[in-house]
Amino acid sequence: MGMSEYMKSIRNKVGHSLLQMPSVTIINFDDEGRVLLLKHRDTNLWVAPGGAIEPGESPADSAKREMWEETGLVVELVDIIGVYGGRDFVVEYSNGDQTSYVMTIFEGRTIGGELKPIDDESIEFGYFTYEESSALEMQPWLKVVLPDILVNKGRKRTLFQTSSWKPEDETDKLS
């Protein structure tokens, strides 16, 4: 689908400046436990399916919509894997737009569809093991997320990035 009308209206006002955006990512495993990744047309880097949450859209609806648009697969959302953000989640697009994503990551189970792009964002698909994925050129955020997901598959708790923040005046006392 590319850029939504909402995002176009924001970009017309702020240009390429860094925007903070809520987003979703869908982790989808095949029967062998490999994770579905796609190569993004704009950046030529590998990512997991996902994208921005539109105004008024629930994260769950956004996740299902993004999965369909980028992969042609219909998924049932079965779990929230984790919530991520930070420096590694800043993406610069080929047109110069910069976006910092706060990402809710869902696990999805395929219930229909056929693996083929509905929009023009994806140029290649594949299911990968952790070892296979480490050889791919990928967005920095995926290097943060994949080890958590693939190494901790089957865990019973929602993941989140560990905080490194400390109050400036307390840093010496806490170290």
Q: What pLDDT sits at residue 37?
A: 96
Asked if the model's pLDDT at residue 159 lies above 70, the reply is no
pLDDT digits (tens, 9 = 90+) for 92-129: 888 888 889 999 999 999 999 999 878 788 889 999 99
Residue 150: which of 37, 23, 63 has the closest Cα?
A: 37
Asked if the model's pLDDT at residue 173 lies above 60, the reply is no
Total residue count of the chain as it appears in this document: 175
Between 114 and 2, the higher pLDDT residue: 114
Predicted confidence band of residue 27 (pLDDT cuts 50, 70, 90): very high
Angle CA 86–89–93, to nearest 5: 140
Strand duo 122-128 + 35-40: pairing:
antiparallel
Backbone angles phi, psi at 13, to 5 degrees: -90, -35
**DSSP codes, 79-144:** EEEEEE-SGGGEEE-TTS-EEEEEEEEEEEEEEEE-SS-SSSSEEEEEEE-HHHHTTS-B-HHHHH
Q: What pLDDT sits at residue 17?
A: 81
Asked if the model's pLDDT at residue 54 lies above 80, the reply is yes
- Tell me which of 2-16, 42-56, 68-82, 110-124 is least confident: 2-16
Q: What pLDDT sits at residue 41?
A: 87
- Type of residue at 64: K
- pTM of the entire predicted model: 0.81
